[in-house]
Chains A and B, each alone.
Chain A
Amino acid sequence: MSDKIFITEETIDGAESGPLADTTVAVKDNISTEGVRTTCGSRMLEEYVPPYDATVVSRLKEAGATIVGKANMDEFGMGTTTETSHFGPTDNPAAPGHVPGGSSGGSAAAVAAGEADVALGSDTGGSVRCPAAFCGVVGIKPTYGLVSRYGLVAYANSLEQIGPFGRSVEDAARLLDVIAGSDDRDATTRSEGDDSSYADAATGDVDGLQIGVPTELLEGADEGVVETFWDAIADLEAQGAEYHEVSLPSVEHAVEAYYVIAMSEASSNLARFDGVRYGHDADAEGNWNETFAQTREDGFGDEVKRRILLGTYALSAGYHDKYYKKAQDARAWVKQDFDEALDEADVLASPTMPIPPFELGESLDDPLQMYLADANTVPVNLADLPAISVPAGETDGLPVGLQLVGPAFGEERLIRTASALE
């Protein structure tokens, strides 16, 4: 496919009947599919074929879904544009010539282009919500522990969740109903999603809803994005909701805390790729340290190397207290701030991304600028909370997403509110 939505186009049939019979699903290529290669967008896993299914894939099959392909992504989920994929960038179906966002860019693009009805992505710091916003579709980042991570190739375990995309809030919620719930194979899962009926919550009823708007998440945002955001809030007000401004001083430090924690976890998680049990093997001369270093030099792209090295640095002797420990303090602070704000409001609203989609190739050379684009999404992962991105309109013909954040396991409330904007 020329627009590189999929890395591997292969059909996996599900059960004859079920809640997702006649539904096509694109699955992000870091979610294991038995017998179908799972590359993580990396040369390292270009030929890796998992011998087992992720729990979410087993649940898709049981629900009767048809998987239509493995969707393109930033390498190991590390990026905001899907341009770090070893297999090349994906174009944005809703804004050709622009990035689809990342890291689950292929999943969002598949839904936006009609290549699949719904899709699965994973969200470590915004990787479902960002591409949903950039491609003009709906994306949900579930509460930490709602969805099993068994079979998701790990990047930063303490932050990531698998989440659904749909062209409507109800479609995304229906997919969430299928994948949510406890799993013996992931001890961090909780039982809150066991008998869920998220799809039924898409009623659009916002009468009396209290919306908090964190002022920090509007500062520095693109003017057109901010305008589109306020139009959407006015729309909710017209339907009976009320808003007030809130302050979350901790989020000023969320991006650096997020990147220190994510990179530190990545440096440990990605240590497993040594070419011995699976993945690229450079077959180099020398002892095992030299051989592993060569395998990892060939197999990983620049952004992955950058994060492994910075994570190794942040955890190394003499720097651990300065970076990692302070980042954990910041994480606890962010959690407190969100909890307090959600005592006074039912949901918190902001633009999902402070900017419209970048042009393809625009941001690749400046990693720090790319990290800063995640300012509105990463605090939610630090706080373990659920969030949804729903299309809010356009600025200069480019899609703008509105993010709603709720209390832990408050997915129904987010789905109800988001559906009022459709």
Chain B
Amino acid sequence: MSDDAVSPKEVRHVAELARVGLDDDEVDQFTRQFADILEYFETLDEVPEVDREADLTNVMRPDEVHGSLEREAALENASETEDGYFKGPNVS
């Protein structure tokens, strides 16, 4: 499986999916480190299939109206707001 090691192109693709900008040095560094780390993760292949007998219960609560943050407090940390709303960058 070692021919499966990541390429710089794949690192750039994953970074794009995750919306994380990377400079060229970071791409090189991560390509090298990911090869080691992913090779180590490969050992999960040796794990047998396990019956997962999780004992789970749903936790429900009454659907009642509660107080929440005031709008002003919720907007306090935003870099830009307009008319009481968060303002984000242009979509395209």
Which one of B43, B47, B76, B89 has the highest number of Cβ atoms from chain A below 10 Å of its Cβ?
B89
- Does B47 lie within 8 Å of A253, measured CB to CB? yes
15 A-B pairs in the complex with CB atoms less than 8 angstroms apart? A256-B40, A256-B43, A257-B44, A276-B78, A283-B79, A287-B90, A288-B89, A291-B89, A292-B19, A300-B20, A306-B33, A316-B14, A327-B44, A332-B51, A367-B33
Contact partners of A289 in chain B: CB under 8 A: 19
How many angstroms between the C-alpha atoms of A56 and B71 in the bound complex? Answer: 24
- Does B86 lie within 8 Å of A276, measured CB to CB? yes
- Does B37 lie within 8 Å of A368, measured CB to CB? yes
Would you call B65 an interface residue if the criterion is a C-beta within 8 Å of the partner chain's C-beta atoms? no
Given contacts A51-B74, A288-B91, contact A309 B18 (CB under 8 A): yes
- Does B19 lie within 8 Å of A296, measured CB to CB? yes
Contact partners of A330 in chain B: CB under 8 A: 44, 47, 50
- Does B47 lie within 8 Å of A278, measured CB to CB? no
Contact partners of B45 in chain A: CB under 8 A: 322, 326
How many angstroms between the C-alpha atoms of A214 and B52 in the bound complex? Answer: 23
- Does A309 lie within 8 Å of B41, measured CB to CB? no
How many angstroms between the C-alpha atoms of A83 and B58 in the bound complex? Answer: 40
How many angstroms between the C-alpha atoms of A376 and B60 in the bound complex? Answer: 35
Would you call A274 an interface residue if the criterion is a C-beta within 8 Å of the partner chain's C-beta atoms? yes
Would you call B92 an interface residue if the criterion is a C-beta within 8 Å of the partner chain's C-beta atoms? yes
Contact partners of A287 in chain B: CB under 8 A: 89-92
How many angstroms between the C-alpha atoms of A294 and B37 in the bound complex? Answer: 26
Given contacts A296-B20, A306-B30, A310-B37, contact A281 B79 (CB under 8 A): yes
Contact partners of B21 in chain A: CB under 8 A: 293-294, 296-297
Given contacts A288-B90, A293-B19, A309-B15, contact A253 B44 (CB under 8 A): yes
Number of interface residues of B (CB under 8 A): 52
CB distance from B2 to the nearest CB of A (A): 14
Contact mask for chain A residues 289-311; partner B; CB cutoff 8 A; 1 contact, 0 none: 10111101100101001101110
Q: Give chain A's interface residues, CB within 8 Å of chain B.
A: 47-49, 51-52, 184, 187-188, 250, 253, 256-257, 259-260, 267, 271, 274-279, 281, 283, 286-289, 291-294, 296-297, 300, 302, 305-306, 308-310, 312-314, 316, 322-323, 326-330, 332-333, 336, 367-368, 371
Kindly identify, within residues 23 to 51 of chain B, every residue whose CB is under 8 Å from any CB belonging to chain A: 23, 26, 29-30, 33-34, 36-38, 40-41, 43-51
How many angstroms between the C-alpha atoms of A308 and B92 in the bound complex? Answer: 24
CB distance from A129 to the nearest CB of B (A): 22
Contact partners of A308 in chain B: CB under 8 A: 18, 20
Contact partners of B22 in chain A: CB under 8 A: 297, 305
CB distance from B71 to the nearest CB of A (A): 11
Would you call B9 an interface residue if the criterion is a C-beta within 8 Å of the partner chain's C-beta atoms? no
How many angstroms between the C-alpha atoms of A48 and B22 in the bound complex? Answer: 24
- Does B44 lie within 8 Å of A260, measured CB to CB? yes
How many angstroms between the C-alpha atoms of A302 and B23 in the bound complex? Answer: 12
- Does B76 lie within 8 Å of A49, measured CB to CB? yes
How many angstroms between the C-alpha atoms of A277 and B22 in the bound complex? Answer: 23
Which one of A184, A296, A310 has the highest number of Cβ atoms from chain B below 10 Å of its Cβ?
A310
How many angstroms between the C-alpha atoms of A312 and B51 in the bound complex? Answer: 26
Which residue of B38, B48, B73 contacts A333 across the interface (Cβ within 8 Å)? Answer: B48
Contact mask for chain B residues 61-92; partner A; CB cutoff 8 A; 1 contact, 0 none: 10000000100011011111000001111111
CB distance from A270 to the nearest CB of B (A): 9
> Considering only CB atoms, which chain B residue lies closest to A37 in the complex?
B77
Given contacts A293-B19, A293-B21, contact A323 B37 (CB under 8 A): no
Contact partners of A327 in chain B: CB under 8 A: 44
Given contacts A279-B77, A326-B44, contact A184 B20 (CB under 8 A): no
